[in-house]
Amino acid sequence: PPVQYPVQRPITPVHGVLKSFFASPLFLVTAILFSVNLLFQIIASLFPQDPAYIVNQIYSNLPYEMQFIISPGDLYSALSDAQSGTTVGTGGTVIGMLITGGLMAAAYWITYISAKNPSVPAAKTAGLTIMKVFSIINLVVLSLAEVLCVVLAVIFGVALAGNDYGYMDEMMSVIFVFLIAACIFGFVVLIFEIIYEAKVIKMLNSAKNAMLTGMVPNKASMFVAVICFISAAVSFFSVFGDAVLYGWIRVPLGLTSVALNVLYGLLVLQFNKMLKNAGMVR
């Protein structure tokens, strides 16, 4: 029988723009920094925190009324139980980081190397497929967390409605109100996170289709860029809290996370700028 050769799609200017984007210095810096951040995550996981120190830091900053209700011994026991079996737990954490983080790092490097290779007319889509899979997983997890926020808010609301109004019951009512407010706040934040992941998936699909067909991709979502910059600002301030609570080993981890969020936002801006300069979008 005659040999069936794969159909070669024509190379279009779109392929050139995508190759230039994924081979850009900004994308390379993102791949390097993601790998460094993964290394810092592994290092931080190898240093288990002291439960007594964490409990003291948390308990000393609670309002007096909550200090009267909450026992520091209970906090200490909960943290000790969570950190029991440190060797096994740390080993499992490191393995999980190596699998998930390693796959994501590989996705960045596969995309960059294929785009940098002059003998490859179009960057490979394998890296974008890996990123898309993890974005879908994140979207499912966020959706489940959204449902959990609703369930907890209903439970706390029922408990608040059935609470009598003695002195201790008044304090419990304040706690329930605080917990309900926290659930509502978490619900709102998760909505933005879900929209963010959905737009990231749409962007990855658009880039993959453009690599395969040579058709002009859609512009990257500015919503994603804004969320990335906001996350960078929030993460920057949380670095200092992590340093006080968990130790200075968390500082390089936090700073690289901040830098990554900034880079993600800049990648969105650069992608749209390259499409505009090529006359593909307005």
Q: Which of 206, 212, 203, 29 is nearest to 125 (CA)?
A: 212
The tens digit of pLDDT for each residue in 111-154 reads 999 999 888 777 788 999 999 999 999 999 999 999 999 999 99
Reported pTM = 0.79
Top pLDDT among 275 and 54 is at 275
* pLDDT of 196 higher than 90: yes
Compute the mean pLDDT over every residue in the chain, rounded to the nearest whole number.
81
User: Phi and psi at residue 137, in whole multiples of 5°?
Assistant: -60, -45
Residue type, 35: S
pLDDT at residue 160, as a whole number: 77
pLDDT at residue 201, as a whole number: 95
* pLDDT of 227 higher than 70: yes
pLDDT category at 86 given cuts 50, 70, 90 is very low
pLDDT category at 69 given cuts 50, 70, 90 is low
* pLDDT of 156 higher than 90: no
Task: Answer for the pair 271, 27: CB distance below 8 angstroms, yes or no.
Answer: no
Distance of CA 191 to the CA centre of its chain: 14
* pLDDT of 89 higher than 50: no
The tens digit of pLDDT for each residue in 13-57 reads 888 899 999 999 999 999 999 999 999 888 877 765 555 555 565
* pLDDT of 83 higher than 80: no
Question: Which residue blocks in 46-166 are alpha helix, DSSP H?
Answer: 51-60, 64-69, 72-82, 86-116, 126-161
| CA within 13 Å, CB half, 1 | 3
